[in-house]
Structure 1
């Protein structure tokens, strides 16, 4: 495992164990988005392999300071990065460069070199995201939770337009060419929202009061709605990542077993190759165990798929999970969902349960994947060692 992969695992576990759940925007998913954008921009800016490694390490570690505080988190992130990289024997000169890259992500700080421009653009690339308005709603909800700051829709749209227009610009040629037009489209969308809200503010006081009452009755608040939608999407993406990692291990170990069966094992009948029997069997054993654990991490859990009307009346079943209803008749399911939509608390509790149990599934997947990678790593080391020993003894 190289240092970038170690950084990914380190940040994932650090946020899982120490980051406050109030940070619903500045979390692992935000960091992953910055890392992905760093790869894209670096790939289009002709950096060296060594420079790309510095950028990716800075991207993974740039928000770790949030486990301490969001105020001055760049400085805290730089300290955490230094400790992690020193622990992994990283060169001190490179560590200093990574710390500079982390510190330049602070809003209002001007980048001084090419690498700083790349990390700065990657950190702000969400300004050009097609879902920018929804992402900003997540940040709005985070500020409400962490600083008790509340904004009206008009205030929030105006603040965002001001940031995009006056407090930010892209620095790299790639970002100016590819991301700037998308950012300008978001500015236009924000302006349209502002115009609509300003027009709506001209309604009479009575109309506005009635409208707010209707909105409160008919739909959940926008920030809560966005939080559920984005969090569910984040859970799904993490599940896809876990499945991809499991598929990689399945493929690699299947290849190892296939090669062993076709080339090594047929030759073990010869007395001249007797010294290869134990290393080959050990290698295949570890490969088989790795495959078993990889399969366990992706194996679905089957549920009954049924419920009763009493379960719905007692609010005991989560209708948002297919495993609870896939055997039910359509008319029963339609009735149950209609009952769910009538009860706001039941609806929210079902969504919360859905997220909770998805999280439990993710924990199981990543725990088994960690065991699988450990077994695979130990198996490779032990097998290679045994082959070397066998040849020396021969």
Structure 2
């Protein structure tokens, strides 16, 4: 019989190693070896005859070889493959029938009818009591997903396992109840504890998200941030426009000084004095207004404790504190951040005074562009009038 057991072991090992799909992460040779080891462990506690003992070991080796032909009805396929092989080895019908009966007893919905079936069933589920249960269970979840049988998240899988532990599985033999039940109960406690911990973390995260969405703080901060950015961007645009106009007028005046004004010494060019004067006057006015639009205001740069206590000073604007000592400013900022309303009031004042400055800048810019435009138009008209009525040709025609 030992020779037969050796042949069956080699036969099952060969099938599970060479013909089994790699997606079987759980129902593989490792699982079969675990069932065989658990069967032999229980057999040492029961006084069974040689035929029954050998039948259990043979069934343990052969109960999952049907997976080599697919997961559907694998117990029946295992029985057929096992029967054919055992007949080739010259086994008698009673032994073959007993092995097939034990293989079919590993079906989850089957209720064991005798001690032999109870032993094979408990051996098949012995991993539920082992320390490696978590890793083994995860392999089964991955296997079911890879085979397209079931795709469950870790949380769903954990809940399904808890339900299985509590309602669908039990050990049948006295040996398993005595030696494995405690390990199973410990694994169940770990599952429940892990699920509770996950639920607690999940609820905490949901509460955090809900409070975050409900709280106006984020919206208020975003409003101030966006408003401040828009104000600063508009200020940069105003400064850029003023600089462009300042540069253009500077170029115009430079060209006039180098090309046109030196020619006014000639009496024949007297007709150009007024157009040139108009042009220069409006260009200088545009430059002055451009400078006024970009010129910074000078502030005192100081405040006292009463200003902070009465919440009258804007500590976010450098012009209000640049002359203060560092320790005084640090104290003032500490007072500011203690009071949320003071913070928002300060931000509001900052936005307001930025708006006031922007209003002044854009009004000056509007007048500056208007002056520049009027100056260009008037000086151009003046040049044409001077050329038409007071140009060199008109001077030659005058009587001597």
Q: 1:102 and 2:106 equivalent?
A: no
Q: CA deviation at 1:49?
A: 2.2
C-alpha separation between the residues in 1 aligned to 2:36 and 2:49?
Answer: 17
C-alpha separation between the residues in 1 aligned to 2:207 and 2:170?
Answer: 42
Describe how 1:1-394 pairs up with structure 2 within 5 A: 2-147=3-148, 149-204=150-205
C-alpha separation between the residues in 2 aligned to 1:126 and 1:165?
Answer: 16
TM score, norm. by length of structure 2: 0.50
The DSSP-based 3-state class of the residue aligned with 2:70 is coil
- Give the corresponding residue for 2:325: none
C-alpha separation between the residues in 1 aligned to 2:24 and 2:85?
Answer: 22
Q: Are the structure 2 counterparts of residues 206 and 162 from structure 1 closer, same or farther at C-alpha, using a change threshold of 3 Å?
A: closer
- Give the corresponding residue for 1:361: none
Contact 1:154 1:198 in 2 (8 A): no
C-alpha separation between the residues in 2 aligned to 1:182 and 1:204?
Answer: 33
TM score, norm. by length of structure 1: 0.51
Number of residue pairs aligned between Structure 1 and Structure 2: 208
Contact 2:51 2:95 in 1 (8 A): no
Q: CA deviation at 1:204?
A: 3.4
Contact 1:108 1:167 in 2 (8 A): no
C-alpha separation between the residues in 2 aligned to 1:137 and 1:2?
Answer: 36
- Give the corresponding residue for 2:246: none
What residue ranges of structure 1 are gaps of 5+ in the alignment? 209-394
Q: CA deviation at 1:69?
A: 1.4
C-alpha separation between the residues in 1 aligned to 2:109 and 2:12?
Answer: 25
C-alpha separation between the residues in 1 aligned to 2:101 and 2:151?
Answer: 33
Give 4+ residue runs of structure 1 displaced > 2 Å after superposition.
203-208
What do residues 108-157 of structure 1 show as CA deviations (whole Å, max 9, x unaligned)? 21110111111011001111111111110010111111116322222111
The DSSP-based 3-state class of the residue aligned with 2:61 is helix
Superposition RMSD in Å: 1.6
What do residues 78-107 of structure 1 show as CA deviations (whole Å, max 9, x unaligned)? 111101100100011110111010000011
What do residues 40-93 of structure 1 show as CA deviations (whole Å, max 9, x unaligned)? 011112222221111000000000010111121111111111011001000111
Contact 1:55 1:98 in 2 (8 A): yes
C-alpha separation between the residues in 2 aligned to 1:54 and 1:142?
Answer: 29
What do residues 214-238 of structure 1 show as CA deviations (whole Å, max 9, x unaligned)? xxxxxxxxxxxxxxxxxxxxxxxxx
Q: CA deviation at 1:206?
A: 10
